[in-house]
Chain A
Amino acid sequence: MIAYFAVVVAIAVWASRRTRSASDFFVAGRSLGTVVLGISAMAATLSGFTFVGGPGLFYALGATALFIVLPASLTNTLGAWALARPLHDLGRTRGVITIPGAIGARYDSRAAQGWAAVAILVALLGYIATNFLALGYVLSAVLGVSLSTGIWIGALVTLAYTVGGGILAGVYADVFQGIVMAAASVAACWYAMRAGGGLAEISRTIISADGTFLGPWGNGGAMTALSFFFVFGVGSLAQPHIAHKYLMARDLERFRWYPMVMTVAMVLSLLLYLTVGLAVKAMVIKGVIPPLTRNDDAMPAFLLAAVPVALAGVVFAGVAAAIMSTVNSFLSVGAAALMHDLPQAMGREPSNELARGRMATVALALVATMIAHAPGAQVAFLGVFGYGLFASTLVPALAIGLNWQSATARGAVASIVTGLFVTLVGETIKFFGIYAPPAGVPWSGVALVASTLVFVGMSRAGGMRQG
């Protein structure tokens, strides 16, 4: 783990010497090649949830958890297909360096840019806080320090390389972290299959005790599983920390292999997500491991029961890598929204962007660290907003709008506001036990449907009025 942090710090020092402008800080000077971008995108996509929450979810719900990652078979290519060229072109022709900036440029609308920035800031603060908390648990377990100390150590290391080197440090750290994640995932998968006696034996063991666990929809049911496929599939196009990568590409000529690079990297890194929860379930049924009191204990229980100590260290480093790579991307995106997009949306041209970008990164990290120290309930409440809120606010305006000539600024703003309102209200009333849609229908899915239909409706209405 110490060796891992040493490499990350070295990357930060190297990158900080090459970061001299806002363009360097926010889009790495548009200098990155395909392999670097592909691995970086994978590392930013897979957060601590993949390595800790994911196995726990698989242990609890079975095949339902599969539908969160199943869309990856499509989305690795879909993102490049739908977003790469239009975003790259906006970057080159209009000097766009952020996703809200791309939305603003597409519709010639400061309002659209401003609302996109607001949506991103609301979603990512909770996301970062939840990841800092997860990192705190990991470091607390590995280093033997208190949870609070673990949170601060993880936050400060992530902050140091993000502030110093901006997105450039983040991307190259992502490449290193992606390699660590892939190695840890492959090793964990091998040990999981070995501990369970192979996939067929694991399946037979689980089926004998729980018939629906490996039914096609798992214990969450068909509506939940299929809704996950919709939200995490279509929603992948609206994750700003991933879409942002397309603004950094040096040369679109070589971009043809980007989906393949990302696919290979992601397959290797998802092996852990797909196998550890299953193996732990089988091991509990067979009595090898006592039943878990918390689902998130699936990964630690597996490491204790089935993995050599030396390899457990690599897996812990993989968890830290997954968390830090995602948080770094979020901090860069959030700083840009705060110091670049919001001023532009209010009609002010940003100045001293490099210095202000660094200050904003520090501010966001400190706020998120404070939130991470809040009682667990509040952190979870903010965390649920993340992926779904990005999806419901940005899919129509960004993914559809960049490819649909008839999209209008009014439709874009209306869809972002709709997504924000429905997600915030829905998740709040669900969290406080007031109302939750039956059969596991997710509020993020409801919000995504609403914002998409509003986007199309308002755009068409505006077009008819002009016609």
Chain B
Amino acid sequence: MVAGTAAIGAAYLATMLAGAPPGWAPWAVAIGGSAASVALFVLGAASRGPVARGIAALLAVLGLVIAGSFAVALALPMPTDDGARLFLGLPLRLAIVFYGVGFVPLFVLPLVFARTFARGREE
């Protein structure tokens, strides 16, 4: 949480001092924001006791999916061809973000919550 937030803060500070974001700034905000979100999940899980290995693995995968989607979108070059490649109706870079960050966790997380909920109550 602290690392992610500090990374975002560094990016903001650099942007405000320079008058424009340095090249690394969007990367810092993307990865910092992903880390902060996942860190809150970890905090919530850890507050109930030791985090089960399965939950820890799931949260690690979640972080990789979110940060990875943003990273790929940042890394891919802007398409030069008019019309661009579409994936499920959207341009490729936007599709990676929308489906990767927006769809993958959307129903997986509530199902995991429901499955692990009883375990937490028993503890």
Residues of A whose CB lies within 8 Å of any CB of B are: 63, 66, 70-74, 76-78, 80-83, 85-86, 198-200, 202-204, 207-208, 211, 214-217, 222-223, 226-227, 229-230, 233-234, 237, 252-253, 255-257, 259-260, 263, 267, 399-400, 402-405, 437-439, 441, 445-446, 448-450, 452-453, 456
Tell me whether A70 and B101 are in contact (CB under 8 A).
yes
| Contacting residues of chain B (63-111) with chain A, CB-CB under 8 angstroms | 66, 70, 73-74, 78, 82-84, 86, 88-91, 93-94, 96-98, 101-107, 109-111
B60 CB to closest chain A CB (Å) equals 15
Tell me whether A404 and B43 are in contact (CB under 8 A).
yes
Tell me whether B40 and A203 are in contact (CB under 8 A).
no
Question: Which residue of A has the minimal Cβ distance to B96?
Answer: A216
Other 17 A-B pairs with CB < 8 A, given A202-B89, A453-B6? A66-B102, A71-B37, A73-B104, A81-B40, A203-B90, A204-B86, A214-B91, A227-B33, A230-B36, A233-B33, A233-B37, A259-B113, A399-B40, A402-B47, A438-B19, A445-B8, A456-B1
Question: Which residue of B has the minimal Cβ distance to A86?
Answer: B47
**B interface majority secondary structure:** helix
Tell me whether A260 and B94 are in contact (CB under 8 A).
no
Tell me whether B110 and A215 are in contact (CB under 8 A).
no
Tell me whether A452 and B83 are in contact (CB under 8 A).
no
A215 vs B98: C-alpha distance when bound (angstroms): 11
Given contacts A207-B84, A256-B113, A257-B114, contact A403 B101 (CB under 8 A): no
Is B56's beta carbon under 8 Å from chain A? no
A81 vs B121: C-alpha distance when bound (angstroms): 13
Question: Which residue of A has the minimal Cβ distance to B25?
Answer: A223
Q: Quick one: which of B26, B40, B112 has the most chain A CB within 10 A? A: B40
Tell me whether A263 and B33 are in contact (CB under 8 A).
no
Q: Which residue in A404, A438, A446 is a CB contact (below 8 Å) of B21?
A: A438
A201 vs B113: C-alpha distance when bound (angstroms): 37
Tell me whether A82 and B44 are in contact (CB under 8 A).
yes
A-B contact pairs, 21 of them (CB 8 A): A78-B37, A78-B109, A81-B113, A200-B86, A203-B86, A214-B90, A215-B93, A217-B73, A229-B33, A259-B110, A259-B113, A260-B114, A404-B43, A438-B20, A441-B12, A441-B16, A448-B5, A452-B1, A452-B2, A453-B5, A453-B9
A316 vs B51: C-alpha distance when bound (angstroms): 47
Q: Quick one: which of A81, A86, A405 has the most chain B CB within 10 A? A: A81
Given contacts A216-B73, A230-B36, A453-B6, contact A439 B20 (CB under 8 A): yes
* 3 tightest Cβ-Cβ pairs between the two chains A and B: A199-B89, A82-B44, A256-B117
Question: Which residue of B has the minimal Cβ distance to A80?
Answer: B113
Tell me whether B15 and A207 are in contact (CB under 8 A).
no
A82 vs B81: C-alpha distance when bound (angstroms): 45
Q: Quick one: which of A77, A85, A263 has the most chain B CB within 10 A? A: A77
A452 vs B41: C-alpha distance when bound (angstroms): 16
Tell me whether B110 and A77 are in contact (CB under 8 A).
yes
Tell me whether B37 and A234 are in contact (CB under 8 A).
yes
A202 vs B36: C-alpha distance when bound (angstroms): 34
Tell me whether B48 and A85 are in contact (CB under 8 A).
yes
Tell me whether B1 and A449 are in contact (CB under 8 A).
no
Tell me whether B110 and A260 are in contact (CB under 8 A).
yes
Contacting residues, chain B, for A71 (C-beta < 8 A): 37
Tell me whether B109 and A259 are in contact (CB under 8 A).
yes
B68 CB to closest chain A CB (Å) equals 13
| Contacting residues of chain B (1-53) with chain A, CB-CB under 8 angstroms | 1-2, 5-6, 8-9, 11-12, 15-16, 19-21, 25-26, 29-30, 32-33, 36-37, 40-41, 43-48
Given contacts A86-B47, A207-B91, A437-B12, contact A73 B103 (CB under 8 A): yes
B47 CB to closest chain A CB (Å) equals 4
Tell me whether B21 and A70 are in contact (CB under 8 A).
no
Contacting residues, chain A, for B36 (C-beta < 8 A): 230, 233-234
A137 vs B16: C-alpha distance when bound (angstroms): 37
A456 vs B78: C-alpha distance when bound (angstroms): 39
